[in-house]
Structure formats: structure tokens, C-alpha cells
Structure 1
């Protein structure tokens, strides 16, 4: 990358264009464009390579349709810049313009410099109410945008497009996954270079992962109140920029590092899905800082109620992005397309997606945001996953979205935990989850792969901790244990926390292996939380959003290889049993009878009384394939029990309780189903 130490800030109006937002390096210069419908003047501020010394400050000369724009000849890729926006400071009418505050371009593709908390970052006088006005300059405490180009030569230009029924998602944190990996170069740990290193990719490939879903990598801010407590916004759900990657995950500010990582994943056959937070930003409510959107055009970029002084909050984070406004919606769509077309990501998981579907009358799954994505030829073709809830009225919408969106299925999470915890009356709910949750998703021509099944995610207990703790232990978060969920559907199996008791440890391992196998072999799309495949613990902390330390960094040195072997065997079997995973919720009728049969341990089909037997802990799903092959999936959450097999010889493909879970045996008549185990047998299918 080159920089321009002595910026020429003379505009060439003949080359200026308002149609492409942000910056565009072309014609031996750079075009700048920023949308602010209510601004009276927009100043472009140029900085030297250090990002600390301003070299020019000039007003953008042209505006049309609220887009302020100008072309500066002579500027190069690598130029640092920011904006100052002039207009009324009238908080009671939603306007919070303050030209004393340097503002980040919402379209900045790269950032240089850190956000350093200082009272000058606030548009009002800290300690007073938000109607006051602060005239201190914030530039030295702000990161600067960097002009980027697109000259990266990709090794692979075509998308992977892994079929949903073949997809296995691995939810991970760039830093947490790599900080303690012994095979990763020390200097690279915590960065994209480490994320895409050979040892990490080899692990994911052997496990059977086809897509890595990354917690937010968009540039985000660490809340000052967390820093003051010695904590940080570790997860990253506090977006500062929707285009620029987070600097903490780069060895420099150069976004080439992200492209190189994505290229390496693609070469290994692994898709990259981004967890994106378009529902709110890090500027918070009216008492938050003025970093970008608030100072550019607060009343446009954020939702407000009748009282325009206060922003409308359905996210629990202080503000809600106003995607109902066409230019804000355009910004989000431009961001999504940028990450697909320029950065080559394969899909997105939308945080608090219900917020994005809110129209004037509340949640509307056919609303503007999702309709825009569905008709877009670029975005509709990638993987789209909704977190189908927010904290607003009517925000819980599991099953409420439309194709091609998939959804996180917390009902599957809760029922799988409860079944293996040996709760009463869980056989019928488990049959629903094994079938892809048809009650939630079998409508409007949606496939069974609409359900993303998981038993643990970043938010909550790790899978191991569901077997090691009855209660959350969040004291390290500094909120006196008030934060985090109370309903964890967990069971410590006899001792709260760590133990040397071999019986308890064996019970925990069996339950973890059984739950992972259940996720792997259910209809829908399996998702595994990074570290769950080897017994990662967070010591009972179920809200580790602020813990950037050993508590959340994966402990590779103590990885349990028996757990990895079991998870690997279950995922391999999922891919091996070609027709076992379908898109029809198992409802297809075959010419020689039902495709699905539910069996009691006595070998007969489940009766109505069986489904309502609260104490029943063992049952099986038998799948008759179109080619004549049978698959028998036995789940035993109870004690060791005999299971009467259908006629003929059966090949055992999986036993999660065994030291060698994939060892093949031939059995007939009856089989002993070990306690807390999943068994898979086949007949006439793959050996």
C-alpha cells in the first residue's frame, strides 16, 4: 500500500460522483461521498500516514439528494481521512450535529488507529445532560478511515456453495480460537493469520466442518465502562464500522490479511460465514459518544419515537439502526454485497434479526429489509441465517422468517438438553427436533434445513458446562451475578464444577458425546460451538461477553481426544448416510411404506401411550431409504437397556459410549444400548 504524505485538497468537480458511497480510488485520485440529509456543510479532513497530523480540511463542494461528494486528484490508496459535519445541534428534534467531533465514514473499508476513550468524544458536556454542547476536538482520540483498493489476486474466485444438507457449521471467535493453540506461531495468535493457519484448518477438516461462522469481525468499540473494570467487549457485538474489519484481528491495518484467510479456508473447502450486527451500533443511546452516525445525521440513521431526543431501542444496547430509511438500508445492503463480492465471504448470521424486520406496525417477515435481500441476485444466493428474536414486543420469532433464511433453533437446544438431562416427557419433543422441528419450519415451502440445530452457542454455557454446573457463575463480569440466563437446563451430575471423581467425569463425557451426536444426526443444519468438541469450559460463566482471557480462549492443551473422536465419527456418519438427511422433515412416503418409523425398545412401533409415558428414556427412529437401506438411530438417555432390533442383521456404525465410537459390529435380535448413548445401525446400506 502507498500513502500520500502531502495531500492535495483541490477538488476536480468534473470527476466527482455521488452514486458510489464512501471512497473510490480512480482517475489518479479519490472520490469521497457521504450521505447526510440534514447537514449544512460537510468537511473532509485528510491525515498523514500516522493518522495524527491533519494535512488538509476542506468542505465537500457538491451535494445532491443528501449525498455530499467531491473528487480530490493526486490522492492514493492508503490515504487516512475523516469528516466533520455541520448542522443544527437540536437534540429535542433529533439533530446532534457537532463539527468539533471527527467522524468515521460509515463506508470506510479499513481503519487506522484505536478509539481512545475521552470526554471529547461526546457531543454534549459529560456530567451534564445531553442538551448541552461540547466544543472540544475529538480527532486525536478517533481512528481514521483508510482509502483501500481491490487488487488482491484470489486463488479461488468461485464460491463454494456447499449444499445446506451437507453443511456443518462451527461457531468461533477469531481470537479465542487461536490464542492458546500450541501449533500457531506466537506472533500470529489472535489474528486472521492464526485463524487460517494450517493447524486450525487441519483440525476443522478432520472434524468434518464445512463452514466457520465467525463472531463479529466488523470493527467494534470496547465500552469505556468495561475498560474501567479491566474487562472488554470481547464478543464484538458493538459495531463501529460495517465495512472495516476489526483492527485487533489484524497484524497491520491492511485488509489483505482477511482476504488471505478467506482464500485459505476456501482452498480447504470451508465456507466463511460472518455474524453481523446491523441492528445497532456502538454509539448507544443519547448519552453515548458521537463517533459516526450520530454526528452525520442522527435522525436518519437511528430510529426515534415521538420524542426525537431519545432513540428507540429494541436491542437492549441503546439504539436501533433505522433500516426503514432507504439510504440506511442501502448502506447495509452495500455492506453485505461488499463482503460477498469484494471479500468473498459465503454468508451471514444476522444478530437480533427480528429488529431488522420491524416495520411501523411491528415485526413483518415480508418487510422491506428481508424483501430487499430476497430479491437481490447476489445476497439471495449466499447462506443467510437469522437469530430470530430481539427484546422488543413480539420479538421472539423462531420459525417466523421466510426462505431462503435459515434460523437458529433454540427450541432444539433446550429440548436436547432436557432429554439428555433425563427430564420427564421428552420423547415426543425429541422426535420433533430429530425431524427438523416441523411445527416451527414446515410451512411456506420451507425445507427442514431451515432449522440450525445447536446445543450450545457463544451466548450461554459451553456444552461441557451444561454437565458441570447447575447454576451460572458470572462473578468475574462485575455485575454481582445479575447478568446471564438463569434457565440453563443444565445438570452438574453430582458436583458443581471441576471434579476428580471418575464416575462423574464419565457421566459428563457420555452426555456431551450424546448431545453432539444428536445435533449431528438431526434433520436440519448442525452447528457446533468451538471447543465443545473437546470439552471446553468457561468455569460456569454463561455470559462471557467481556472476558478476553484464559476463561474464553480455547484450551487446546487439555482437549479431550475421546470427545473429538466421537464428534468426528458422528459428523462423518451424517455425510456418509446420503439420504438420511433430507429437506422434507422425513415426511416423504416411499412406495413400500412409511419413510419414518418410531420404535419402542421392545421393537414395536411407538403407541400413543408410549409418546405420553413421562418416564420413557429410550426410543429409536428408523429411516427407510428409497434404495432399500435402513438406518436405525437409537437414543438412550436412561440406564443401560436392551433394545429389540427389527429383523435381520444390522451393522453398527456408531456407539457414542465406546472408546472407538465408529467401530463396526454386526448384530441381530437385540442390542444392549449403553446408558447415556446414541447408537446408529444400518441394514442394506454403507458398511
Structure 2
């Protein structure tokens, strides 16, 4: 930790290798006291007698002493980040604009094995959106991490068979600078400033709140994964705000030989994982959330960045460091295996003990149910994508996620409708695989509505009949919609789940799928099944030509039968000890 409680005071240390002078800035209300720090190698140090837990602080350097800088190792902030143009303007004091770090005593360290490993259902949650409209959660608690521990929430998670929740970013983030003038705000959180400090709006109780929620979920048999953003920070490009690393250690950001910021994350900057200091900060962050909150593991946004040096390397130092770390080596690690840089798509190329988001699964399953995909491609995805991962599936299979169309919108919109984002409908994936059953958007036609419901149920049943680890985004089990917006990051209230208006019949359908999946141990087994039997829908063995042209198949495993019928728009998952029910 940068701020360490010691007998009689606090030791402060911060890395600023290029600075000629650094000041610790202590705050008592709006009154600031500056204390000169002493260089120790690349670090700067000072001990402040009389300081203690609750002390609010920041840093300044001689590069632009007007800019107050947040401790990169901060674990508690006094308020959220709010974008202001003055944050990027030189020589304008920003003490009134920048959150202050708070000296925080660490909690007694936890030493718990992961509850979740792999092979079950991961439930992706936008923490704020999940409970803002939940009728059973007290109003004061809605939108917070603590709300996830509410008995009504846990009962829902258990009903649909959730093995682990995956919390979309919960550390403090800042809006991209183009959003406030449009009256918009970032509702996803993929724009953090420092990696350990929880967003005060999501966690007013700080790390103790996260710890208590993780414990409550664990008591209910549910693990917790955190979605972390190590690929960039919210300081953006050269026109972005100066908030932390930009003023303290700008070498943390990757640069081209001519000095330009590399933008492999598409956000203005990319953290340089060839820099040992970046790796150290990332490893400290992982250890913090394991020992202080007890989380089971992590999902890494745009994880290809973590293995760049500058090109992608499956044997990158960060992977070796994690594998050798006694705190981290048994954690669940999930990569989003792509970024927008050269050679950025690396699905199947992460270390063998990592899981990877499998967008090939999403696309092939959607194509099959849209009518232009093959049974062979669907069968490969259903059985764990051996073409990508070999004999041990490492994919996280999903048909919809936070990014892209919701599951309901996938079958109701053939094209994106992102005009509200203020980018002339140019943002978001232009070629997403989707269809509208003849009418774009909402429809009062009963035939269209029935067809859409059948398509969604087929997609859900396919997911729950898939071998290995599967992922469902919160609300897709009961019809969440973003009105065709497939890049909803800037639409905070649009993301709020409508609990009162949810499709309860679809929710019950998912609960039944979860019960059936739980009765089929082979589906959770990460090893590719070699004892599978494939039959045509007429019961005859599949022939080579059938894999391209057949409208479906029957798959028999040791403990289940799965029947896929595109003509009937159905998937049945039947455990061997139960009668077949469509």
C-alpha cells in the first residue's frame, strides 16, 4: 500500500520516477497542507506523525503542481470522479475537482479457496442497474454492492442456477469527456482511473461492503468474480484529464517510437505491460481483492493488452507472475481474448489454465437459429469448441453479453439503433448477427411475438445444454431490452432492469433449464466428451452431408439427451433419469 499505518503516523510512498519534486497533499476539509517528499530511487517517501486512518490525501509533482493526483494504490476515495474540462487544462488547480484518497486500515486477510472453479453458470451483473428498480430491495440500498446480498436477490440467483456472479467494473471510473455535454454518463464502468478503489456510489461501505456481500453469496453457494480493466485508464488521450498516472508515472502508458500514445484499447491510451511497474500495480490489485474481499477470480477486459510487449505473447511475464503467486495461482482467470491492436484477436491462445470468452460460440449459435448456420458448427460449439481449445474446453460460452444486443433485442432488431449515444449511430458493432422476424423493434403482432419468444427460448436452451462454462447477462432470463441499442454504455437508466415488468414465464423456463443442467454432470465437465452419439432427428446416424444441411440432431451423452430442431424452434435437454419434456 502507498499509505501504510505505522505506530504514531502514516508512511506515504508513491512512484514518480521522472519527477524532480513531489508533495504529499493532506486535506482537512478544504484546507490543504503540502509536505515535501524525499526521493528513494524511483519512489518518493515521507512519514507524517499524527496522521491516521481517515486521513484524506493526494499528490502533486513539479511537472504541473496545479494538478492534484490520486494515489494509484488508493483503496478508498472520498467521492466519485466527475469529469470537468479543467481536469485537462494545464496550470489550473484541480484540488476541488479530484477525489481524495483516504488512509484505510486493511481488514484481516482472508485465506479461502475459490468456491467457483469452472463448468457452471456465470451471471454477469451491472451492479447499479441490477437493483435500481428491484421492488424488494430497500430504496437506500438499491444500486449498491450490498444489495446483491439481499435475500430476494440471492433467491433469484439460486433459482436460475447461478454458480458465480461476475460483477462488471466496480472500481471508481470517470465519464468519457464527450458524454457530459450530451447529458450522458458511463453506465458500464469500463473507464477506471485507479484499479483498487471501489466506486463510492456502488460501495458506500467500501471494501468491507464488498467483503460482506461476497461472504453472503458464498454462504448461498455462489462465487464472485470481478471484471477488471487493466488495459487502459480514464486519463484517455493527450486531450484527456490528468488524474493519477499521467502526472506521476506517464511511462505506464505504452507509446510508439515517435512518442505517440498507443491506443490498442480504443480508449485513448493503453497501459504498458512490458513495464514492471504496471505489472506490480496489477498484481497488487488482484491480491487486494482476494485477501480483502475473498473473491474467487477475475475477468479481464481486453486481456490481449496484458500480454503485449508490444506483440502478444502467450508466455508474457504477467501470466507467469500470476501462476507463481501463492495468493493468485488458484484463482479463476477469464480473458476477453481480443483488443483492437495489431494481431489483437487471440481466442484460444491464452494460458491453458485460463478461461476465455468465446465469441465464436455466440456467432455460430446465433447463425444457426437465424437460419444461415450449419448443424456442424452448432455441434462443435455445443460440445465445448474443440477446434479452439482441444480436448479440454476453456471457453466461456454466451449468446449475449453486456456488449452488443440484449438477448431479447437479438431477435427483434436486425440493425443497431444507437442514435441516443450521440455518435450518429456509428458506434457499436455494425455487423452483429441478429434478426427481427419481419418487424423491426416492438410488435403487437401475436405471430411475430410468438416467433421471437421461441427464438429466445431456443437460444437459452442451447446455452444451458452446452458443455463447460456458460455465461448469462442479468436480465436476459426475463427479457431485458435496450430498445435496439447495442452499445448501451452511455445510457445509465436504459440499463436498469425492469423487475416488475419482467417476463416471468421466460424466467421460469430458465429455472427449469438450470434444474435440468444440474442433473447432467457431463455438461459441467470441462473435458471434451468422446463417448457422444450423434443422430439425425429421424434417429438414424448422422452422415457427413448432414452436418451442413440438417435442421438439427440428437446428441446422446452418458447422462443426457439433447435434441435440437430448428424447424420446430426447440431444444430439449433431458437428463437420463427423467422423461423427455419439450
TM-score interval, smaller chain: over 0.9
Partner of 2:253: 302
SS in 2 for 1:457: coil
User: For 1:302 and 1:486, how far apart are their aligned partners in 2?
Assistant: 30
Q: Judging changes above 3 Å, is the alpha-carbon distance between structure 1 residues 321 and 556 closer, same or farther for their aligned structure 2 residues?
A: same
How far 1:236 sits from its partner (Å)?
0.7
Question: 2:264, 2:561 → 1: CA distance?
Answer: 45
Q: Which of residues 293, 302, 317 is equivalent to 2:245?
A: 293
Aligned-partner Cα distance in 1 for 2:515–2:6: 49
Which of 338, 345, 349 aligns to 1:389? It is 338
The residue that corresponds to 1:416 in the other structure is: 365
Q: Give the C-alpha shift of residue 198 in structure 1.
A: 1.7
Question: Is 2:113 aligned against 1:111?
Answer: no
Note the alpha carbon deviations across 1:562-607, whole angstroms, 9 max, x for none. 11111111122112112343222112xxxxxxx1111101211101
What whole-Å deviation, never above 9, does each CA across 1:494-550 have from its counterpart, x for those lacking one? Answer: 22111222222222112111211111111120100110000111110000010011x
Partner of 1:598: 534
Checking the alignment, whether the CA contact within 8 Å between 1:464 and 1:537 is kept in structure 2 is yes
Q: CA deviation at 1:135?
A: 2.1
Q: Which residue matches 2:144?
A: 191
Q: CA, structure 1 residues 34+456, in 2 after alignment: closer, same or farther (shift >3 Å)?
A: same
1:524 and 2:468 correspond = yes
- Does the residue aligned with 2:44 lie in a helix, a strand or coil? strand
Higher mean displacement: 566-575 or 327-336: 566-575
Partner of residue 335, structure 1: 285
**Residue 280 (1) aligns with residue 232 (2):** yes
**Residue in 2 that maps onto 1:650:** none
Of 532, 537, 556, the match for 2:481: 537
Match of 2:125 among 148, 172, 181: 172
Q: Which residue of 2 aligns with 1:91?
A: none
Q: Establish whether residue 438 from structure 1 lines up as the match of residue 382 from structure 2.
A: no
Matched, 1:634 2:568: no
Structure 1 residues 185, 209: CA separation in 2 closer, same or farther (over 3 Å shift)? same
Q: Which residue of 1 aligns with 2:86?
A: 120
Question: Aligned-pair distance for 1:57?
Answer: 0.8
SS of corresponding position for 1:45:
strand
- Of 345, 354, 360, the match for 2:304: 354
**1:192 deviation in Å?**
1.6
| Distance change >3 Å, CA 251–CA 328, structure 1 → 2 | closer
Q: Does 1:53 align with 2:24?
A: no
The whole-number CA distance in structure 2 between the counterparts of 1:505 and 1:347 is 39
Summarize the Cα distance change of 1:187–1:607 in structure 2 as closer, same or farther, 3 Å threshold. same
Superposed CA offset, 1:400-447 (max 9, x none): 1112110000000011111111225x100011001100010117xxx2
Map of 1:138 onto structure 2: 94
Question: Structure 1 CA distance, aligned partners of 2:203 and 2:525?
Answer: 40
Distance of 1:236 and 1:379 partners within structure 2: 24
Shift of 1:99: 1.6
- State the distance in 2 between where 1:81 and 1:681 align: 60
- Describe the shift of the 1:271–1:596 C-alpha distance in structure 2 as closer, same or farther (beyond 3 A): same
TM-score, normalising length: structure 1: 0.82
Where in structure 2 are the equivalents of 1:225-304 lying within 5 Å?
225-251=178-204, 254-298=206-250, 300-304=251-255
Asked whether the 8 Å contact 1:182–1:557 carries over to 2, the reply is: yes
Residues 162/421 of structure 1: CA separation in 2 closer, same or farther (3 Å cut): same
Equivalenced residues, count? 580
Report whether the alignment pairs 1:158 with 2:112: yes
CA root-mean-square deviation: 1.8
Q: Contact 2:384/2:467 (CA < 8 Å) preserved in 1? A: yes
Match of 1:611 in 2: 547
Q: Does structure 2 conserve the Cα–Cα contact (< 8 Å) formed by 1:160 and 1:266?
A: no
Rounded Cα–Cα distance in structure 1 between residues aligned with 2:439 and 2:22: 62
- Kept in 1, the 8 Å contact 2:461–2:572? The answer is no
Alpha carbons of structure 1 residues 118 and 531: separation in structure 2 relative to 1, 3 Å? closer
Residue 611 to residue 430, structure 1, CA distance change in 2 (3 Å) = same
Higher relative contact order (CA 8 A, sep 6+): 2
Q: Secondary structure at the match of 2:489?
A: helix
Unaligned runs of 5+ in 2: none
| Distance of 1:678 and 1:85 partners within structure 2 | 62
- In structure 1, which of residues 208, 213, 224 is the aligned counterpart of residue 166 of structure 2? 213
Checking the alignment, whether the CA contact within 8 Å between 1:46 and 1:81 is kept in structure 2 is yes
Alignment pair present for 1:78 and 2:54: yes
The aligned residue for residue 99 of structure 1 is 65
Distance in 1, matches of 2:440 and 2:169, equals: 32
540 and 137 in structure 1: CA distance in 2 versus 1, 3 angstrom threshold: same
Please give the residue correspondences for 1:655-670 in structure 2 after superposition, counting only pairs within 5 Å: none
Tell me the distance in 2 between the aligned counterparts of 1:398 and 1:220: 28
CA distance in 1, matches of 2:436, 2:87: 46
How far is the alpha carbon of 1:77 from its aligned partner?
Answer: 0.8
Q: CA–CA distance in 2 between the matches of 1:491 and 1:578?
A: 34
The answer (yes or no) to whether the contact 2:516–2:575 under 8 Å persists in 1 is no
What displacement does 1:151 show? 3.9
| Residues 115 and 143, structure 1, Cα contact 8 Å, conserved in 2 | yes
**2: distance between equivalents of 1:245 and 1:459?**
22
Unpaired runs of 5+ residues, structure 1, are 1-20, 87-96, 127-133, 588-594, 639-674
User: In structure 1, how many angstroms separate the alpha carbons of the residues matched to 2:537 and 2:86?
Assistant: 69
CA distance in 1, matches of 2:492, 2:178: 15
- Cα deviations by residue, 1:93-150 (Å, 9 ceiling, x for unpaired): xxxx21221100000110013434444322xxx5xxxxxxx32211111110001112
CA distance in 1, matches of 2:577, 2:134: 42
